[in-house]
Amino acid sequence: MSALPKHAAAVRTPAVDEAVQAPHATPRARARTSAATDARHAALVLLGTGVVGGTLLRLLATPAAAGLHLVGIANSRVQHANPRGLVPLQAARLLEGASAVRDDDALVAALAASGAAQRIVVDATAADAVAARHADWLARGLHVVSANKAVLGGTYAAFHDLRRAGATGNAVYGDAATVGAGLPVLSTLRRLRDCGDRLIALEGVFSGTLSWLFNHYDGSRPFSHLVREARTLGYSEPDPRIDLAGTDVARKLLILARSAGHAIDADEVSIESLVPEALRGVDVATFLTRLGEFDATLEARRAAAAAKGCVLRYLARIDDDGAARVGLAEVEPTHPAARLAGTDNLFALTTTRYRAQPLVISGPGAGPEVTAQALLGDLLAIRGRVAHA
């Protein structure tokens, strides 16, 4: 995503937008939007209307989201805002004819004009340019709920600035959707640390795509065939190299390690990319066509593991001394990762109190429904601050 435009039309502030009060809008929908100025409620703007953002909009229309009021929505180009509120199920369509150029400051102004006690920016993008603004929003007292890993899994300096900004603005940073699509791994790590427990090792499978590939890779089909199938099924990115490079897994490992108290920087993670060097600079079609040239290399590794009674898994691991690695590993049949299915993620935590047997968290680690639900969970936690204020 390119840098965001700095110029934009002013935020629209009519009593209620015509689209919000369309004849087919239900009385309940109108009541939800007119309540946006109630100081007991939380107002939010949503950045990103892709698969995850679109799913979150549907969740915002359910009874579970009562007290959460959408006042702005934006994609990478345009936006629509109304401090009085937007109907979630109609909001995405408002962008189709929107003339207001994307301007984050104008969206923040809509939050301020809403009168809500809690004001939240939701980042459902993967854009570095959006993540770069998280610290500024926090410092200004805006809560941020994010599925974007760019800052949490970036440099340690940026991570530290983010935490300091949250403290300065007395604002919450909701990050449950950044790792494991809402599996309770981050919250578990923090609770263990708060209780005085100490992480000795963390190991797991953090990518749904790589989980699926190696759960199915038994030598009956070449690895390149599985990569193409994963792409067809929608389990991988359109350019599978984004998954195969291991950088996304490394970001998740950094987020987890830092939550456990390790001051580790991005360049300290050893990453084994599964993308052959000769195919890193070619176009996607060429990559998919030529990937079969390297099947023999990976098959030799699989066969060597099988000769020892092991299977290959793409693991992330951090040890007690902070040594962090992401890459292929041979695991025995008794290892939790050897028993995964589908696109499941796995997190095995060995601590001073879970030393004899690690605490294992596993389940769906990808998908718009569970990711959007993780965002909603963080939103509800922030809304709860109103009730307890």
Catalytic amino acids?
Answer: 252
* CA separation for the pair 114, 11 (Å, rounded): 12
Establish whether 51 is an annotated binding residue: yes
| Cβ contact 254:264 at 8 Å | yes
180 labelled as ligand-binding? no
Can you tell me the distance from the alpha carbon of 260 to that of 268, in angstroms, rounded to the nearest whole number? 16
What Rg do the C-alpha atoms of the chain give, in angstroms?
Answer: 22
Contact assessment for residue 207 and residue 273, using Cβ atoms and an 8 Å cutoff: no
Is 166 within any annotated ligand binding site? no
Q: Is 52 annotated as a binding residue?
A: yes
User: 229 labelled as ligand-binding?
Assistant: no
Contact 143, 121 (CB under 8 A): yes
Amino acid letter for position 137: W
149 among annotated binding-site residues: yes
Q: Is 330 annotated as a binding residue?
A: no
49 annotated among ligand-binding-site residues: yes
Instruction: Check whether 182 is labelled as a binding-site residue.
Output: no
- List, as residue ranges, the binding site for NADPH: 125, 149
Binding site feature residues: 48-53, 125, 149, 237
Annotated binding site for L-homoserine: 237
Residue stretches of the annotated binding site for NADP(+): 48-53
